[in-house]
Amino acid sequence: MTTQRDRELGMNRRITRRDFLNGVAIGLGAAIGDGFLPSLIWADSANETAPQDKPGYYPPALTGLRGSHIGSFEAAHNLRDGNFWKSAGKPVDTGETYDLVIVGGGISGLAAAYFWRAQKPDARILILDNHDDFGGHAKRNEFSPRSKMLLANGGTWAIESPTPYSKVARGLMDELGIHPAELAEKCYARDNYKGLSHGVFFDKETFGTDKLVTGAPSDFDNSTPDQIAKFASNLPLPEEVCRDILRLETSSQDFFPGLSSDEKKDRLSRMSYKKFLLEVVRVDARVVPLYQKRTHGLYGVGIDAVNALDCWVIALPGFGGLKLEPGPHPRMGYTARGYASPKEPYSFHFPDGNASIARMLVRKLIPASTPGSTPEDIVTAKVDYTQLDRKESPVRIRLGSIAVSVRQTNAIANTKEVAVIYSRNGELFTTRGKSVVMACWNMMIPYLCPEMPERQKEALRYGVKIPLVYTSVAIKNWKSFQNLGLSRISTPGMYHHEANLDLPVNIGDYRSPKTPDEPILVRMERMPCLPGLSERDQHRAGRGDLLSTSFETFERNIRDQLGRVLGPGGFDPARDIDAITVNRWPHGYAYEYNYLFDIEWPAGQSPCEIARKPFGRIAIANSDASAAAYTDTAINEAHRAVQELLNS
Ligand SMILES: Cc1cc2nc3c(=O)[nH]c(=O)nc-3n(C[C@H](O)[C@H](O)[C@H](O)COP(=O)(O)OP(=O)(O)OC[C@H]3O[C@@H](n4cnc5c(N)ncnc54)[C@H](O)[C@@H]3O)c2cc1C
């Protein structure tokens, strides 16, 4: 039943997502933007042409619940629960044998195919992926309001990594023609948001009243003490809490007198930032909600589960008087250790994030699929999905196909062939590879390769991928942002912890919206977790939350949040929202070790090092293999896995 509040929010309004129920196309087709999409799900007949082979198949334009969309994960969960094989039929033998079968069509899987073909140009390769689109986390959202293309990253945001790109990863970028620093210099259109700054919205459920305050803490690095004092005095919080926030933000106190910089770092690495605030800086506990989610975007958990030293690296306040020497520390996490070390600038955000890298790799592997040749023209190029799985092509990408068994014939680690069974549209198929690269997620591998040594399977299961949501909301114009003088808004107590206009980029034929009356995408982020638990348990709880949340709940929260935050600028959620895509990633970032909870393993003994050992003709790629959620690590691991197979 529609309530009055739902009507005000526009829950009854027609937007493109209504053609999709939780991300699944209803009926034969649905109007999206200017185009017409055939159904992405199968008709009843098992002999029906695969959806990706039908003209017009174009998943980037789908709205609703994307990321781990319905239809992509159920078989995996049945395998986990031990139910899959009970009801599985006999696999149909495809009769195919490939030089290499790759499980997982993300950056790691695509890079593995590229590296293999670079050394074996005649090789025949099959890539299987369970999603309806390739790219893994590096996917794109495409909207076309008023016939203008608007792009957002559905996952991977940018080429940027805490550690310098390796020779291998940088070499791949070079071969694709991607020179990040040059592209950033040439394509960023920062002037589009000239005069707009950063604000914090205090919501009544968390802070007692709804209030938007400009001049926010993350601008403090570049703020003067007067600006900080002005911000602190505007907060809708009791005076003593504001005083503590100001004291924290401007602190010049040495909380550990007599200790060396290294000793201080060690001490900070053994306490959470929340503990640092409460027990070292001794702020009022009501200060914490303003900072609780400041680590969400990078680490996927709040300040209760991130050590204070890693928060020093990302410039959270309170450390000014400690006079810590710049530089890394062995107890920092991978990300913080990297950011604490100097490196030259090497970053670029394509309008669709690193989906552009995935698309360029696909273009290299299957030239007939995608026109063009440069990083500029890939952005607006249309991929012809019907070309991805052609018999005559040496490289084939088979979507909607989840591997459920990867076994060396006779289950002997040194045999020359691996049988891969995959499920597609509820039917099982067998294909064969002389070698297999597992570029999927570590925790899935023990279910697929049960003959692996127990110690390796245990190590593969160790990391719990970080659940997260990137939401793209197409709105009619951004006058409300302009009226409020903001392009970035932190919402520390709300459902999504931020709502921002995307970094404007003009590249090739793509133009980011320049004037406030143009349609634009708002990017929102949510990291579901459960403060107080260990990091891995928080991720498990967050994943459960994500998988049990309906699109309707997301939509209601999004409308409510944008209405309250932007309303004073003239935004009306019922009138101004054109489309919503919720990219949910229950298995998102690779888990990186957190020494508040994990032990410091001796070299070579960490779970990811044990987990990535080759097993006969099966090698393991993907970013879990380095316990680091970055594009370059996914590429590095692909290269290692390929070399292991080619050298054995
Ligand atoms: C929301 C988000 C934002 C990110 N932002 C950045 C960023 O800005 N910069 C950066 O460097 N990194 C970023 N990362 C990390 C980066 O995206 C990853 O490290 C990298 O893309 C991982 O690539 P991959 O191929 O190893 O894994 P994935 O991209 O996860 O690809 C693996 C694929 O294998 C599929 N698969 C799993 N099991 C099976 C099976 N049994 N059968 C068939 N297919 C299977 C998966 O569904 C998936 O499609 C981000 C990650 C996320 C989730």
* Ordered DSSP codes for 151-189: EEESS---B--SSPPPHHHHHHHHHHT--HHHHHHHHB-
Q: Report CA(156)–ligand 1 centroid distance (Å).
A: 8
Ligand 1 center to 107 CA (angstroms): 7
- Using CA atoms, how far residue 258 sits from 254, 262, 275, 327, 593, in Å, is 9, 12, 21, 20, 30
Torsional class of 334: left (φ above 0), alpha (ψ -120 to 50), beta (otherwise): alpha
Whether 137 is in the pocket of ligand 1, judged by its Cβ within 6 Å, is: yes
* Beta carbon of 555 within 6 Å of any ligand 1 atom: no
Distances (CA, A) of 304 to 106, 115, 256, 296: 32, 41, 21, 11
CA distance 320 to 221: 11
Provide block-wise average pLDDT over 10 residues at a time, the chain (648 residues). 85 64 36 39 59 96 96 96 93 96 98 98 98 98 94 97 97 98 95 93 97 73 78 94 95 97 98 98 98 97 98 95 97 96 94 98 98 98 98 98 91 71 96 97 98 97 98 98 96 98 96 97 98 98 97 97 98 97 98 97 97 97 98 98 97
For residue 497, CA distances in Å to 126, 317, 370, 469 come to 40, 19, 36, 10
Dist CA 422 CA 405 (whole Å): 7
Question: Residue 509: exposed, middle, or buried by beta-carbon count in 10 A (0-12, 13-18, 19+)?
Answer: exposed
Give residue 622 CA to ligand 1 midpoint distance, Å. Answer: 8
Distances (CA, A) of 382 to 60, 146, 339, 370, 377: 10, 18, 36, 6, 10
Identify the pLDDT of residue 206. 97
What is the predicted pLDDT for the residue at 34?
32
Which residues are paired to 520 by β-bridges?
Answer: 475
468 near 474, Cβ under 8 Å?
Answer: no
pLDDT of 38? 43
**Tokens describing residue 7:** 């009507």
Contact 642, 116 (CB under 8 A): yes
- Ligand 1 midpoint to CA 63 (Å): 20
Q: Which among 139, 159, 66, 114 has a CA at the least distance from the CA of 439? A: 114
Q: How many CB atoms lie within 10 A of CB 532?
A: 11
In the beta sheet, which residues pair with residue 125? 100, 395
Distance 155 CA to ligand 1 centre (A): 8
Cβ contact 139:583 at 8 Å: yes
Q: Which residues pair with 29 in a beta bridge?
A: 38
Cβ–ligand 1 distance for 585 under 6 Å, the answer yes
Sign of CA dihedral 27, 31, 32, 35: positive
Per-residue pLDDT at 222: 63
Predicted pLDDT of residue 415: 55
Instruction: Please give the Cα distance from 460 to 442 (Å, whole number).
Output: 5
Residue to mutate, 80, 156, 334, 424, ligand 1, most ligand atoms under 8 Å from C-beta = 156
Burial (Cβ within 10 Å: 0-12, 13-18, ≥19) of residue 89: exposed
